[in-house]
Amino acid sequence: MSRLTKTGFGFSAKVQQLVGGSSGRGAFENLPRSLHCEPADGAGSTVGMTTRDAVDVATRRSAIGVAARLLLMSMLISSLPWIARAQNLDKAVQSIDEEVTAFSYAPDGRIAFSVRRMYKAKKYDLQRDDIYMMDQGGKRKRLFSGEKFTVGDKPFTYQVESFTWSPNGKILAVQLFTTSVDVESGRTEDARALLFVDDQGRELHPAGKEPLVMNLESPLWLRDNATVVVMKEEVGPRELFSLQYLYMSSGPSAAVFEGRTFREAVRISGSNAAIAVERDRMMDGPPRLQRLELLAQDDKELATLDAFAGGLSVSPSGTKVAYYLDKEVLEIRDLESPNKVARVRVGLGVLQWNADETRIYLKRTIEKKSADLVSVAVPALAAYKTGQTIPVQEPTPQVLLHGLTVREFGVSPNGKFLAIVLPGKRNLQIFGF
């Protein structure tokens, strides 16, 4: 029986206990005997009866008693806290007792995850993470082993930072943070790189013989599952990026939107489009929210932003976008009617939408740092004219996992499971909503 099903049965039992099972009397059993009902007109008056007796008579005499019980049940359900109705996060349904460095849900619910592995190579301690796949039934297989993986003739180490699935769920673009060592000078060189592995564990080499595509990051898959738009740093450290095509058959190719630079870009699911924040190289103009057609290289400016501090995230349906204006305020904008917005003060962090886009899950700190995980309701968006003051709402976050500190988190595509990486041992645990 699934975790969700168990939660449903447990909740039904609680409601039944509150309303007293099928008779509807239990909720009134403990009312004080001194309380009396108000006088009733006509025959069958309950004047002088106790509350318990009056309810009992009314329930037996008329179908009104049934309706009253149903109304009572509805009131009880609606009065319970949201967290009690929607979550059952007390016990993990699955656990991976490894030092997990990154993970990601596939479109079909499988999970790719990397595990920290350390090796000795002469006088160097090298980290080269292994990559695993876990299916929905919990069966795991190793896709990639880092022990014998080398690049060039220098000592080489890497850590997996993130995974990006192709739309068909067949290929993983693996973001690596790499370090190589010049043996003679002892100097180290850091770089980001992309590794491509299919879901059967085969390495794909879009750059020819080389196993890695160096100095590229943040892949945006196109719908053909063979073309990726990647970002290349143009203004550092990690301030502005250009866009470039990467073909799985032939490697890096022409620039996309040549001459333009962007802070961040996020693909719209199910499309060849992305939402991006553009700024010029001199950073002297305001950030501009753009819709980019990555294949046709067409663009549409959606809004000029007051500010931009990161955290760009597109909702599952592709109709809303969220981003931080500063370290406190999150702005949510309607992509179909860009003048409709809302602002909430929630604090800078890592966010993800729930499946029906009614709530945002937020880890209240930057990436790769640990903090509590909360849920914030998505407010109604309202239209504002250019220059009009937009009020900042201050919602009360719903604390998840009883305030447990997490390092990373992810929500399954169907919205039924929450996966977290714990600090310390960095075990991966999965909970059912």
Over residues 243-273, the pLDDT tens digits come to 999 999 998 999 999 999 999 999 999 999 9
CA distance 211 to 216: 13
336, 309, 306: which is closest to 321 by C-alpha? 336
Asked which of 5-14, 116-125, 363-372 is least confident by mean pLDDT, the reply is 5-14
pLDDT higher than threshold 60 for residue 235: yes
pLDDT tens profile 184-205: 888 999 999 999 999 999 999 9
Average confidence (pLDDT) over 107-115: 97
> Which tokens belong to 25?
């009397």
CA distance 375 to 343: 16
Q: Mind spelling out the 3-state secondary structure of 199-232?
A: CCCCEECCCCCCCCEECCEEEEECCCCCEEEEEE
Burial of 317 (0-12, 13-18, 19+ CB in 10 A): middle
115-151 CB burial, b ≥16 within 10 A, e <16: bbbeeeeeeeebbbbbbbbbeeeeeeeebbebeebeb
pLDDT higher than threshold 70 for residue 31: no
CB 212 within 8 A of CB 260: no
Average confidence (pLDDT) over 284-303: 96
CB 128 within 8 A of CB 149: yes
Tell me the one-letter amino acid at 231. M
CB 366 within 8 A of CB 350: yes
Residue 295, pLDDT score: 96
Residue 123, pLDDT score: 82
Backbone dihedral angles phi then psi of residue 367, each to the nearest 5 degrees? -60, 150
CA distance 293 to 169: 22
Residue 186, pLDDT score: 83
CA distance 89 to 95: 13
pLDDT tens profile 59-93: 444 444 544 454 444 444 344 333 333 446 789 99
Whole-number percent of the chain with pLDDT over 70 = 80
Residue 88, pLDDT score: 60
Residue 190, pLDDT score: 96
Give the chain's mean pLDDT: 84
Tell me the one-letter amino acid at 244. Q
Name the DSSP letter for residue 38.
P
CA distance 215 to 230: 10
Specify the pairing of strand 262-267 against strand 428-432: unpaired
pLDDT tens profile 137-196: 999 999 999 998 988 888 899 999 999 999 999 999 999 999 998 888 889 999 999 999
CB 274 within 8 A of CB 227: no
pLDDT higher than threshold 50 for residue 28: no
Tell me the one-letter amino acid at 215. N
CA distance 36 to 191: 78
CB 344 within 8 A of CB 392: yes
0.95 exceeded by the pTM? Answer: no
Name the DSSP letter for residue 403.
G
Residue 201, pLDDT score: 95
> Which tokens belong to 384?
């504002």
CA distance 224 to 279: 29
Backbone dihedral angles phi then psi of residue 97, each to the nearest 5 degrees? -90, 65
Structure confidence at residue 378 as a pLDDT band (50, 70, 90):
very high
Residue 154, pLDDT score: 86
Residue 175, pLDDT score: 98
360, 330, 358: which is closest to 342 by C-alpha? 330
CA distance 277 to 255: 17
Q: Which residue has the higher pLDDT, 431 or 40?
A: 431
